[in-house]
Each structure stands twice: as structure tokens, then as C-alpha cells.
Amino acid sequence: MSYKVVRLPLTKEEISNLKPFDMLLLEGKLIVARDQAHKLLAILIEKNEPLPLELADQVIYYMGPAKKGNNLPIGSCGPTTAGRMDRFTPTLMDRGVKVTIGKGPRNQAVVESIIANKGLYLVAYGGCGALYATKVISQKVIAFEELGPEAILEIEVKDFPVIVGIDSQGNSIY
């Protein structure tokens, strides 16, 4: 098996052609957000207030980076458990998010949201935070800086390895 290089953002056609266990190398920009950022975004959506970023076609990586080191733009940046974001994911996907990246299974509401929004869930390899740090070209805080390591970041990646965990039809590796 070999990895397929894909440029972000993914097109609707690319998303529809991907299947569980497909191995990808991502290139382009991702949004990084975890629990607290998801909660704040959901509150803003519920209150119908402006969001600090555009969600349409976004790829969200569930990760909390370690402090920078070793002359890299980011410290260790492995995935966190996706299930912690499950209660927020359908809301964000309904607002345009197409792809989420994390580790572990998703609940049925998320699977249904992936199908309804023709999205994807990609799985990053747990325990590989140091490897992922070498795949990040740049990073910057774009929202909720006050959250520290849970602020929303934009990172640019190259050769960032993931596998398709749940495809746009709801087929799953789990």
C-alpha cells in the first residue's frame, strides 16, 4: 500500500472518492481546535454571533501542541481523542466544516453528520506527535488566543500522514 498525496482543501469529488483505510499525505492548511475552542464556537453559533474564522470547507485537526523546540515551527503535535468533540461536530459540519482529523471512533450523530454534509473523518496516528511536528511548515494563532494551547491555530502541513476513518457514505474502519 502507498500513500496518496492530497492538497487541501479537498474537493467534493476527492472526498467522494476516498474510502476507509485509504492512506493520505496531506498538503496545505489545517485548522487546529480542541475542546474549549469547539465549545466557544458552538456558543457563538447558538447565539447567532459572528465567528472568528470561516468554517466553509475547513479541515479541523484535534490537537494540542507542545511548546516549540528543535528549530521547528511547532512542538509535538499528535492527535487527541476525537470523541471529546463529538457533541460539537454536527453543528460545525452544518456550518461548513468538511473534514475532521483525530484519533479513535466517532459517535452515530457524527457519522450521520458526515453523511449529510458529504464530509470525512481522517485518523492521525496516535503516539506520533514528534513525527507530525516535522510535517508542519508554519503555524499561527487565528482565534481565542486567551485559551493558550487550546487556541485555534492555522497550520500548514506537507506530507502529513492520515488514513480515512469514515468516508462520505458513513463507511468506517471502526
Average pLDDT estimate for 134-141: 96
Considering 8, 18, 38, 155, which one is annotated as catalytic? 38
DSSP state of 30: E
Residue 122 lies in a domain: yes
Q: What pLDDT does 71 receive?
A: 87
Domain assignment present for residue 85? The answer is yes
Query: Does residue 22 belong to any structural domain of this protein?
Result: no
Q: Would you state the pLDDT for residue 64? A: 86
45 assigned to active site: no
**What rounded mean pLDDT belongs to the chain?**
96
pLDDT of residue 136: 97
Structural domain contains residue 129: yes
How far apart CA 153 and CA 29 sit, in angstroms, is 10
Instruction: Tell me the mean pLDDT in the region 113-134.
Output: 97
Question: What's the whole-number mean pLDDT along residues 145-162?
Answer: 96
Residue 81 lies in a domain: yes
pLDDT digits (tens, 9 = 90+) for 66-121: 888 778 999 999 999 999 999 999 999 999 999 999 999 999 999 999 999 999 99
Residue 50 lies in a domain: yes
Domain that holds residue 78: 4-8+31-164
In a domain, 52, yes or no: yes
Residue 68, pLDDT score = 80
High-pLDDT (> 90) share of the chain, % = 94
The three three-digit cell numbers of residue 95, written as one number: 456550518
Total domain count, the chain: 1
Task: Specify the CATH number for the domain of residue 51.
Answer: 3.20.130.10
- Cβ-based neighbour number of residue 51 at 10 Å: 13
Q: What's the confidence (pLDDT) of residue 54?
A: 97
pLDDT at 17: 98
Task: Answer whether residue 169 is part of any domain.
Answer: no
d(C-alpha 49, C-alpha 34), whole Å: 20
Given a contact cutoff of 8 angstroms between Cβ atoms, the answer to whether 75 and 69 are in contact is yes
